[in-house]
Structure 1
């Protein structure tokens, strides 16, 4: 009897696990696979153009073979099997990977890994402004297959769609996000069905699975193969999203959805387009839309537009999440972040990032005017990110998984060789517009490094000598400082128990509240901090506590809730009566040897002055928050 009950529980557990995987996989279709899923709209058209528009049968099979093996090696093997294993307590993304492999390290190796992680994350913003433009343009251009009447209106229509997409971000996508998965499932079923129709007419394209076709094509075309690889890379540009969204869905749903839905649909779509070229060597226009019957072109354009909007939404949301991670790891100034859903933590809105991305995307769409032209600017950022991810992955293999050099080095070198090939191929696109995402990434990288260096200099300038703390505590314990009713929470940027803002408060008012909290807020290099570890409490004087609260780099920092955790550890305070104090600093030039170069100090001062205030970042009651101004010499 016991055995049958255990068997029944196991069956119910397995059934629940399958249901969870299916529901998460469906949701992942609408968030994780948008970029990869819409790549058939422009990839094959681009690579066919690199060989003159009319490839020979052998060249056509070579092109298809390159796409097939790029999807298998980079996405199916590198990301699904290896990179997704390098999670930071369940969270993925290049910043999470950087935090994982650099924790506890120092020296030049750590500095190199940090630079790789930071520049790789900055490159994601560069990719984020091009992906919506090329995706929406390629979808709307499909209407030209049915009629040329709307050709002059494709770019204006794309601008309107993109404008509406960015304008809608402030309202959030929690409600309409529920239909993203079913729409993308319909999309994958559709492109698989269209690809199958072409494949059935020319089944010999299945032979492209033989990697010899790749080798023969590269040998036959020599250095021109690098130009072709730049186009082939468009098929895998969304691979990084599998890792970045790991924390939302987990490994199993993402891997299962890729292997059983997305990969087969993509392979069938590319195979069908190749079959169409073999059957009609002189065909003109985008082979993706040419696969559809004439009557189905307009419905396909509508579905493609919806799919590209969903893909663009995923990129924008990813940029918002990346911004929050960078802020809380100390690499970005505080920005206004709005939670657009009470139920889904990942549903956030960052106005500054949204509007900057919108302006850049609209300018690119208007300037380039077609998906074919934008293909020249697309790929440089992502290929560089993938290359940097491989460097970080090698460190994870050695330091986190404990692999021997004899195993880790050959595996990493294989990925590095392929990544470097794609990276080199995309460098050829720099003159065609590839410099745009690289320049944007460089600017963001400079902002991140200057902010981090400036905040470190700021903390060093605020550090007090231990004897000054002892003197203040002696005055406090001796009764020289008058205590008045009330609770005061002083934000503390230094490691010492006595923040400078508290000392100045006492100097100005000659008194101190009866209950005092010196509050230090830290963001750890882990995604989440357990409630039991949220607060550390140290009593330094009568009714005086130094409380250190910790948050993970993806958590929403609620200081009031964290102080409630401190109360469970012996800190006696009345949260309803608490008033919060923080310093509002103005950065000026130091008369002593400056800690920052002039241009760095000016840039940091601008960012610091415009960073979001503590009430907005830490969910503090604005009517109980006071700032004290002062000048900091750097």
Structure 2
């Protein structure tokens, strides 16, 4: 079949080759792809000749009922039950737990900040005050004022991170690149936004420009993917620098501990760390809080001790004049040293990215009452010690320890470094899982490691890639100073991307006064760009690493998303018409058999073309047919009672139904009950509701439910499209490379996971099909 947008050729129907694993339906990227639930086959159609776009509008303009199965579905407050809690007992408990999950990275920064800043030694004793002042104001301005005071409030129903910001914008403005909006989606509890009642001309203009500009839509998606890529880069660099800096303390214990041996020990710890990921170490995430609390107590106590013993006058670094003097004395070298100072705020993004497990208040309390005082005290104590021992700046942390505390601090430091690494690795898994729902990442296996804590996942492919990256970085760079050059870029670049999204949200959604937006840009964004310029200076000395990681990941994500959108639009243009469905149902050459057939597709905007292809190859239909499309909404979570949307394809005698199953980007897809059972139960509810309360109609509904039950007992087959994507003749060289080589290489070499719905292998049938795009 040849079409303007592509063609289908060399089609086959295939069954899965023997496998010991249960198989199920998964879309590319492991995601529930966005799709429109077009109602051309529904019972609300007034005219079969109405053009598609008018049909869609005319139907929903007079929509009388909620399309979710449970009309009176209770509103849910957010991603987690504690999101809006006012119970201070719960808030304080969460604040304590957040210490172990969120702050391991920023808490271990005192291990290496001064040594990374003064790479050429300390030339003037007041330079110590200048750097301490820089550290103080940088931590105050970015982690505290930017994140704790502003960014945390940009959460998406309790969830944070770059992806959450992008999803929030997608809900407010039509900036998605897939035509997937549908009126019913806005009735989902978490979909609605709390917006200021005031009108704002600037907000309206920015919103209209975003919606009308194809470039702006691509740019926002690109930034979201770039943010994901930089976080993955963090996932490689955080374990490397944290573990290496902690283990380097062994040099103080014995002279025989050479740099090479420290690297070997660090590599062994890293390999063990990644190997245990498959056992679900996220389950004990909250158990990390006591260890990190001990760590903060130690560094704060040692900071106070050094501050009093060596030079309490470093307190005058609170005067920003020392920053000005520092730059006057050091000029270009002072600007370059900002690449080391920025390491004091590593892990800041985690406060926002890990918000889903806590609350805004709990993060604010833990940061303000524990973390901020502890790290400021630690840096002040180290500065006081350096005023007397400036020649030992390369080993500031361990040299500044009281000798009696060396081994306790060393042990806790290694544990804290492992915890900081664990949190970053888990965050990487989570953000990859989120990108799958956007259709921006190849389909990989996502293993949910905890039945108790939501969002705890393990991705085998990414785990081994991260492990290889960490080992290579640690073995090749060998010192924290060199890794710090790369780490600084990954940290500050991710934060500037968050600021970019935040400015758009302030203008478009919050309708913030333009003067306040300008103040944010001038004070906070300009500071971040100053740091970004400094870390870029060290691009050739290791700064290229995160960009190398990002470049590879961006190529993978952009390629996958490009083919995903092309395939989606192709299916949208070639969906099976209602007339074709009727012809198939009445075709005397097609036999009918008992049982239930469930067709899975990525398209919810009509019947997918693979159905007609299947009938042409296997001219037989089951007594009941259900077309199921999985759709990801730009929300963190969809309540189970709001998840299913059903329509009945006319005429009713065909017993053909269409269903859209909606998920949020953090929803766990593996239900406690089998997806098949839940689907059938919800379909029964829909049939009963669809016929209303009329007794005569009620009897018909009962008969239909009986027929559905009979078909279910007779046997169920789950049909999944197995698409081969190739470029059509005449395509450009670049398009042929992306589709025929890059995309298909990723598709063939990454795990094809069908475990999402726990479909028994014996019930699964794959329908092979080739698309020419």
Using the size of structure 1 for normalisation, the TM-score is 0.93
1:37 match: 107
Structure 2 runs not aligned, ≥5 long: 1-83, 176-210, 689-704
Distance of aligned partners of 1:508 and 1:175 in 2 relative to their CA distance in 1, 3 Å threshold: closer
Asked whether the equivalents of residues 332 and 447 of structure 1 are also in contact (C-alpha less than 8 Å), the reply is yes
Displacement of 1:225: 2.0
Q: How far does the alpha carbon of each residue in 1:489-536 deviate from its partner, in whole angstroms, 9 at most, with x for none?
A: 001223443223322232223210111001111111111112232111
1:154 to 262, 275, 287: 262
Of the two structures, which has the highest relative contact order with CA contacts closer than 8 Å and spacing of 6 or more?
2
**Greater share of helix:** 1
1:87 match: 155
2:369 to 242, 245, 260: 260
**Residues in 2 aligned to 1:158 and 1:66: alpha-carbon distance in whole angstroms:** 31
Does 493-502 or 376-385 show the bigger shift? 493-502
Displacement of 1:15: 11
1:364 match: 473
Asked whether the equivalents of residues 131 and 312 of structure 1 are also in contact (C-alpha less than 8 Å), the reply is yes
1:279 match: 388
Asked whether the equivalents of residues 102 and 423 of structure 2 are also in contact (C-alpha less than 8 Å), the reply is yes
1:270 match: 379
**Residues in 2 aligned to 1:466 and 1:286: alpha-carbon distance in whole angstroms:** 66
* 1:62 and 2:171 are equivalent in the alignment: no
1:556 to 655, 668, 682: 668
2:294 match: 186
Asked whether the equivalents of residues 440 and 561 of structure 2 are also in contact (C-alpha less than 8 Å), the reply is yes
2:489 to 380, 383, 389: 380
Q: How far does the alpha carbon of each residue in 1:517-559 deviate from its partner, in whole angstroms, 9 at most, with x for none?
A: 0111111111111223211111003311010111001112244
Displacement of 1:448: 0.9
Does 186-195 or 467-476 show the bigger shift? 467-476
**Residues in 2 aligned to 1:614 and 1:480: alpha-carbon distance in whole angstroms:** 36
2:687 match: 570
1:53 match: 121
**Residues in 2 aligned to 1:535 and 1:554: alpha-carbon distance in whole angstroms:** 17
Does 568-577 or 253-262 show the bigger shift? 568-577
For 2:145, what is the secondary structure of its paired residue?
helix
2:224 match: 117
Q: Deviation above 6 Å: which 4+ runs of structure 1?
A: none
**Residues in 1 aligned to 2:753 and 2:661: alpha-carbon distance in whole angstroms:** 15
2:271 match: 163
1:28 to 88, 98, 113: 98
**Residues in 2 aligned to 1:497 and 1:54: alpha-carbon distance in whole angstroms:** 69
1:11 match: none
Displacement of 1:97: 0.9
Using the size of structure 2 for normalisation, the TM-score is 0.77
Distance of aligned partners of 1:27 and 1:607 in 2 relative to their CA distance in 1, 3 Å threshold: same
Distance of aligned partners of 1:561 and 1:525 in 2 relative to their CA distance in 1, 3 Å threshold: farther
Displacement of 1:265: 0.6
Asked whether the equivalents of residues 172 and 349 of structure 1 are also in contact (C-alpha less than 8 Å), the reply is yes
Asked whether the equivalents of residues 163 and 358 of structure 1 are also in contact (C-alpha less than 8 Å), the reply is yes
Displacement of 1:438: 0.7
**Residues in 1 aligned to 2:529 and 2:300: alpha-carbon distance in whole angstroms:** 31
2:504 match: 395
* Matched positions, count: 619
For 1:252, what is the secondary structure of its paired residue?
helix
2:63 match: none
2:245 to 120, 134, 138: 138
For 2:90, what is the secondary structure of its paired residue?
helix
Displacement of 1:96: 1.3
* 1:19 and 2:89 are equivalent in the alignment: yes
Q: How far does the alpha carbon of each residue in 1:39-91 deviate from its partner, in whole angstroms, 9 at most, with x for none?
A: 00001221133xx3234332111110000111000100111111111111211
Displacement of 1:465: 4.5
Asked whether the equivalents of residues 27 and 178 of structure 1 are also in contact (C-alpha less than 8 Å), the reply is yes
**Residues in 1 aligned to 2:570 and 2:283: alpha-carbon distance in whole angstroms:** 47
1:443 match: 552
How do 1:196-211 and structure 2 match up within 5 A? 196-201=304-309, 202-211=311-320
Distance of aligned partners of 1:436 and 1:42 in 2 relative to their CA distance in 1, 3 Å threshold: same
Distance of aligned partners of 1:619 and 1:69 in 2 relative to their CA distance in 1, 3 Å threshold: farther
Displacement of 1:149: 2.3
Asked whether the equivalents of residues 630 and 661 of structure 2 are also in contact (C-alpha less than 8 Å), the reply is yes
* 1:584 and 2:692 are equivalent in the alignment: no
2:764 match: 625
2:521 match: 412
Q: How far does the alpha carbon of each residue in 1:85-123 deviate from its partner, in whole angstroms, 9 at most, with x for none?
A: 111121100111122224423323232222222112111
Asked whether the equivalents of residues 102 and 114 of structure 1 are also in contact (C-alpha less than 8 Å), the reply is no
Asked whether the equivalents of residues 501 and 582 of structure 1 are also in contact (C-alpha less than 8 Å), the reply is no
Asked whether the equivalents of residues 91 and 247 of structure 1 are also in contact (C-alpha less than 8 Å), the reply is yes
Distance of aligned partners of 1:209 and 1:620 in 2 relative to their CA distance in 1, 3 Å threshold: farther
